[in-house]
Structure 1
Amino acid sequence: MTIEPDTKDWTWVLDRPCPECAFVATAVTGSEIPRITREAAAAWDGVLHREGVRDRPEPHVWSPLEYACHVRDVCRVMDQRARLMLAQDAPSFPNWDQDETALRERYGEQDPAVVGLGLHTAAEAVAARFAAVPDDAWDRRGLRSNGSEFTVLGLGRYFLHDVVHHLHDVGA
């Protein structure tokens, strides 16, 4: 069964706490992004070793494995976006359809051990990218296809909310 596409604009999490997962983006400094990324990646290890990791809690809700695949890919996409923002002036980000990716990549059929390794690799890459941001580059800008503007710091905070929120989604 397919998942109903998420069409919400989640950029509001940059301005106020998330009522579901309690993440407060404005409380995160740029220097904290790498640590929080690595801690979240470590938390996914326990999730991927659960009994029933492939089981959906409801037909239209991703399984823990599917969420882990998504988080791995979010790390990859945000690493690419941060790289663009640091290399170019106000780049536009290519579209990324997370739901189409989940279907095409068959998230629910992937090997949890392989997903875990990929998640750690991707999380480490994006953590290293944010760890290397020069002090004068946190305000560099980039644009999503819908016109949402991000700074490097805002992108990092937005990214962290996604990773933390999905840990909340799977009860970790």
Structure 2
Amino acid sequence: MTSEPTTAPADPAPADAAAPAPQIEPDTKDWTWVLREPCPECGFSAADVDVHAVGGTVRDLTPRWVSALSRQDARVRPDAHTWSTLEYGAHVRDVLRVFDERLRLLLEEDDPEFANWDQDATALADRYDLQDPVVVADELADAADVIADRFDSVGPDQVERPGRRSNGSVFTVRTLGQYFLHDVVHHLHDVRA
């Protein structure tokens, strides 16, 4: 259920809204290394995260995302090679949704394989650059509530349930939560929120 927006009105869409935004170079790094060592960019230490704290942390971080998306310059890219706050917010909204589905699979199936998700193709196809920051903030908050509730439901006997990506990377409920939470935190660092 979507609540009424509590953010300031967003700036209007760019005048050349039909023109595609300049493409950002896709991120092809395998970020699973953050499970073993702190991120030098944002300082997040995934290995220190207790899976039972993920839901509460997501709820604590959500207002920072909503606030960032209410900035008047939310649509503005800081440079030609970096997403705007709006684009990062739309990405994080989708991260929340994708990882909620992956968590659901881990909790309900034995050793599931996660569907591939090309985050860069999604950003282009869904025109993150043209979405409404107020709508994205609402959708992000709703998705955050859903995944936070699902992490809250994880029982002690479910923490090490495994699953995998198609590239062979193996995750458990615990490491999926740690990896996922880094994404949410890291992008707050990216948008200086």
TM-score range relative to shorter protein: over 0.9
CA contact (8 A) 2:66 2:141 kept: no
Tell me the number of residue pairs that the alignment of Structure 1 and Structure 2 aligns: 172
Letter of the structure 2 residue corresponding to residue 116 of structure 1:
A
CA distance in 1, matches of 2:92, 2:62: 9
| Gap runs ≥5 in structure 1 | none
Bigger Cα Rg: 2
Task: Tell me which residue corresponds to 1:162.
Answer: 183
Letter of the structure 1 residue corresponding to residue 141 of structure 2:
H
Q: Which of residues 20, 34, 54 is equivalent to 1:13?
A: 34
Letter of the structure 2 residue corresponding to residue 4 of structure 1:
E
Task: Tell me which residue corresponds to 1:38.
Answer: 59
Higher helix share: 1
Residues 7-33 of structure 1: CA deviation (Å, up to 9, x unaligned): 000000001100000001111101110
1:124 matches 2:155: no
* Shift in Å, 1:69: 0.2
Sequence identity (%):
56
Q: Which of residues 64, 68, 71 is equivalent to 1:50?
A: 71
TM value normalised by structure 2? 0.88
Task: Tell me which residue corresponds to 1:23.
Answer: 44
* Shift in Å, 1:46: 1.3
Task: Tell me which residue corresponds to 1:138.
Answer: 159
Residues 65-118 of structure 1: CA deviation (Å, up to 9, x unaligned): 000000000000000000001111110000000001001111011111100010
1:171 matches 2:178: no
TM value normalised by structure 1? 0.98
* Shift in Å, 1:4: 0.5
CA distance in 1, matches of 2:63, 2:179: 19
How large is the RMSD of aligned CA atoms in angstroms? 0.6
CA distance in 1, matches of 2:43, 2:166: 27
Task: Tell me which residue corresponds to 2:122.
Answer: 101
